[in-house]
Amino acid sequence: GNYGFQAQPMGFPGGFVAPPIQNQPTMDGTIWMPIPPSIPNCPPGLEYLTQIDQILIHQQLEILELVTGFEENNKYELKNALGQRVYFAAEDTDCLTRNCCGPSRPFTMRITDNLGRQVITLQRPLRCDACCCPCCLQELEVQAPPGTTVGYVVQNWHVCLPKFTIQDEKRRDILKITGPCVVCRCCEDIHFEVKSLDETCSVGRISKQWTGLVREMFTDTDNFGISFPMDLDVKMKAVMIGACFLI
């Protein structure tokens, strides 16, 4: 009866799923997830999300940024549990904004599939990240396809905990996200729990993975993992991806 959860359509009776269409080999040797068949009532490009219950997000290392400290547009690989690339995400922010506003900067994140189609757009306005300003909290809009809003991630004011709410396109609350009191922990992963609205049932998790002392100190490259139920609505899966980037 919950919104956000729906059985995914099956290709054939008896639980047999139609085999995915195989993708063409890429020039750079990247192994992409096979292109799934189109699914009725599923936003184009989100068919991939019907077949997975977790996503690994790896930020690419920018050599110029490492050497000079000059902030570049961030780029990310989104992979499934087999290590196949599902999507590629690239930030679209001007140079002045990146280097003046730092991690609080507004941004547009464009997420493309293995056909080069832009299937998801994330838009984050400029907001304050201080807990003493409850009137100007973080927010992110998720569009899939671009131009069609499927949900929002909004920060909830709390004196010490990072808390967020996942909303649908009509701004109805669907899920809650709660992080740890201390989000900078040495030598261990950091977990943000995704829960039901009453926060009694765990639905999924967004985790920042510890990558080692040297990498954590001298680069800003991050690795994240997202887990969610296989039968979660693909639109809410897309919004959870947006929540990961906002976090």
Per run of 10 residues, the mean pLDDT along the chain (length 247 residues) is: 42 39 56 91 95 94 60 89 95 75 81 94 81 73 97 89 94 95 68 94 90 49 89 97 94
pLDDT at 132: 56
Beta bridge partners of 36: none
Provide Rg for the chain, Cα atoms: 18
Residue 125 lies in a domain: yes
User: From residue 223, how far is each of 42, 56, 97 by CA, in Å?
Assistant: 28, 7, 24
Range(s) of the domain holding residue 121: 47-246
Letter string b/e over residues 109-129, b meaning 16 or more CB atoms within 10 A of that residue's CB? bebebbeeebbbbbbbeeeee
- 3-class secondary structure for 32-100? ECCECCCCCCCCCCCHHHHHCCEEEEEECCCHHHHHHCCCCCCEEEEECCCCCEEEEEEEECCHHHHHH
Q: Does 118 map to a domain?
A: yes
Domain count, the chain: 1
CATH of the domain at 121: 2.40.160
CA atoms within 13 A on the CB side of 198: 3
Q: Would residue 17 count as lying in a domain?
A: no
| Dist CA 54 CA 206 (whole Å) | 10
State the CB neighbour count (10 A cutoff) for residue 69: 9
Name, in order, each residue with C-beta under 8 angstroms of 116's C-beta and a sequence gap of 6 or more.
none
In a domain, 181, yes or no: yes
Residue 193 lies in a domain: yes
Given this model, what pLDDT does residue 214 score? Answer: 45
In this prediction, residue 12 carries a pLDDT of 33
Is position 182 within any domain? Answer: yes
Residue 22's pLDDT is 47
Residue 240 lies in a domain: yes
Q: Is residue 64 part of a domain?
A: yes
Q: Which of 122, 123, 158 is nearest to 137 (CA)?
A: 158
Residue 152: which of 163, 161, 164 has the closest Cα? 164
